């Protein structure tokens, strides 16, 4: 068994999505070792075969993987289906043809969509973000006003008459 | 939904999935045993990569066509690191339906002497 071959194969595995590697990476390494030991195939030929396989398979897995990640996995997509928000997605034979993982501009979690223009994972996030932006604008305006008021008060105090006390 | 309709949803089965179904038809196997079986059954014509194998296994697990098994078929030869898979009843029905579909296709091709014509060129 070639240790260098196994190391090189671990590098090839990096082409696959991380969640897939976590689930099946060690099994794939074990299969690679078994093939070297029992089939007596040279590590270089095996590695070439596996690299071609990875180049062919991994991009599709990466496209499909957003549907499987964390709390945004299949259930999330099903929820979006149930809410009727994915009615207009790109479908082919009952399957979505392209899915994208996008970071929500508000809560910074990843969400799954076919629409690359979407910025928020939910209506709540969009509303919250709008409210937050409005608050920030108001706060900035208030800060400007306060600063102007403060500067004005400094100017006023400089020009203010000295207080007089009747004796 | 009837059982027939449930099975029809999975057809046509991808070639790699059908190879795995055939390999698992005579009992549970681990990844390397499936690869070896597929190569043997096809006289070495089909050599799956491990990415294709585990990609198909993952999809078939999600679809409920196969399942991971806890029992080890042969404790003496067992390696704890390996995961064994077996067909579910749905997987068996889908495999049988795909077999019927492919047989019908091959029969139709034979009726039109497709093999002979292509073989003569």
Tell me what pLDDT residue A68 has: 41
- Lowest-confidence region among A130-139, A145-154, B50-59: A145-154
Q: At residue A160, does pLDDT exceed 60?
A: no
Q: Nearest residue of B to residue A34 by CA position?
A: B32
Tell me what pLDDT residue A91 has: 42
The C-alpha atoms of residue A135 and residue A83 are separated, in whole angstroms, by 30
Tell me what pLDDT residue A72 has: 43
- Are the beta carbons of A61 and B55 separated by less than 8 Å? yes
The C-alpha atoms of residue B26 and residue B48 are separated, in whole angstroms, by 19
Which range, A99-108, A128-137, A155-164, has the best average confidence (pLDDT)?
Answer: A128-137
Q: What band does A12 get if pLDDT is binned at 50, 70 and 90?
A: very high
Please tell me which residue, A2 or A90, carries the higher pLDDT value.
Answer: A2
Tell me what pLDDT residue B104 has: 93
Instruction: Check CB contact of B119 with chain A, cutoff 8 Å.
Output: no
Please tell me which residue, A111 or A166, carries the higher pLDDT value.
Answer: A111
DSSP string, A108-163: --EEEES-TT---SSHHHHHHHHHHHHHHHHHHHHHHHHHHHHHHHHHHHHHSPPP
Tell me what pLDDT residue B72 has: 66
Tell me what pLDDT residue B73 has: 60
Tell me what pLDDT residue B95 has: 94
Tell me what pLDDT residue A138 has: 84
DSSP string, B45-93: S----HHHHHHHHHHHHHHTSEEEESS-S-GGG--TT--EEEE-HHHHH
Chain A residues touching residue B47 (CB < 8 angstroms):
49
A96 backbone dihedrals φ, ψ, rounded to 5°: -65, 140
The C-alpha atoms of residue B96 and residue A28 are separated, in whole angstroms, by 29
B112 backbone dihedrals φ, ψ, rounded to 5°: -95, 15
Query: In Å, how far is A143's CA from the nearest CA of chain B?
Result: 55
Q: Which residues contact A50 (CB under 8 A, 6 or more apart)?
A: A9, A12, A32, B49, B50, B51
Name the residue among B67, B64, B53 with its Cα closest to residue B17: B53
Q: What percent of chain A has pLDDT over 70?
A: 63
How far out from the chain centre does Cα B69 lie? Answer: 17
The C-alpha atoms of residue A8 and residue A40 are separated, in whole angstroms, by 18
Please tell me which residue, A56 or A102, carries the higher pLDDT value.
Answer: A56
DSSP H or E stretch at residue A4: helix A3-13
Pair A77, A95: CB distance under 8 Å: no
Query: In Å, how far is B56's CA from the nearest CA of chain A?
Result: 10
pTM above 0.90, yes or no: no
The C-alpha atoms of residue B11 and residue A162 are separated, in whole angstroms, by 95
Tell me what pLDDT residue A55 has: 92
Q: At residue A4, does pLDDT exceed 70?
A: yes
Q: pLDDT (tens digit, 9 = 90+) per residue, B75-95?
A: 666 666 688 999 999 999 999
Q: pLDDT (tens digit, 9 = 90+) per residue, A19-41?
A: 888 889 989 998 998 888 887 77
Tell me what pLDDT residue A87 has: 42
Tell me what pLDDT residue A3 has: 81
- When CB atoms are compared, the residue of A35, A38, A53 closest to B51 is A53
- Are the beta carbons of B49 and A49 separated by less than 8 Å? yes
- Locus of tokens 């196997």: B29
Mean residue pLDDT across chain A: 72
**Neighbouring-strand partners of residue B24:** none
Q: What band does A158 get if pLDDT is binned at 50, 70 and 90?
A: low
Regions of chain B short of the pLDDT cut 70: 1-5, 71-81, 115-121
Q: pLDDT (tens digit, 9 = 90+) per residue, A93-112?
A: 444 455 667 777 788 887 77
């Amino acid at each position: 068994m070639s240790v260098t071959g196994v190391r090189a194969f671990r590098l090839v595995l990096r082409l696959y999505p991380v969640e897939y590697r976590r689930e099946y990476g060690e099994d794939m390494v074990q299969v690679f070792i078994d093939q070297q030991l029992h089939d007596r195939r040279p590590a270089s030929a095996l590695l070439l075969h596996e690299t071609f396989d990875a180049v062919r398979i991994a991009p599709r897995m990466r496209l499909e993987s957003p549907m499987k990640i964390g709390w945004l996995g299949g259930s999330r997509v099903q929820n979006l289906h149930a809410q009727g928000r994915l009615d207009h997605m790109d479908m082919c034979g009952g399957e979505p043809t392209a899915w994208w993982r996008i970071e929500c501009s508000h809560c910074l979690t990843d969400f799954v969509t076919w629409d690359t223009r979407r910025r928020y994972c939910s209506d709540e996030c969009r509303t919250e973000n709008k409210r937050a932006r409005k608050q920030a604008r108001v706060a900035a305006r208030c800060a400007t006003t306060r600063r102007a008021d403060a500067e004005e008060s400094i100017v006023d105090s400089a020009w203010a008459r000295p207080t007089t006390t009747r004796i | 939904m009837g059982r027939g309709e449930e099975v029809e949803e999975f057809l046509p089965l991808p070639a790699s999935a059908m190879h795995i179904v055939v390999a698992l038809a005579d009992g549970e196997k681990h990844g390397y045993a499936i690869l070896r079986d597929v190569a043997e059954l096809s006289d070495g014509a089909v050599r799956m990569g491990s990415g294709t194998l585990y990609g198909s296994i993952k999809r078939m697990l999600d679809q409920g066509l196969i399942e991971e098994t806890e029992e080890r078929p042969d404790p003496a030869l067992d390696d704890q690191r390996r995961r064994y898979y077996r067909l579910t009843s749905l997987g068996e029905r889908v495999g049988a339906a795909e077999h019927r579909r492919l047989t019908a296709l091959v029969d139709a091709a034979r009726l039109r002497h497709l093999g002979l014509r292509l073989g003569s060129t």
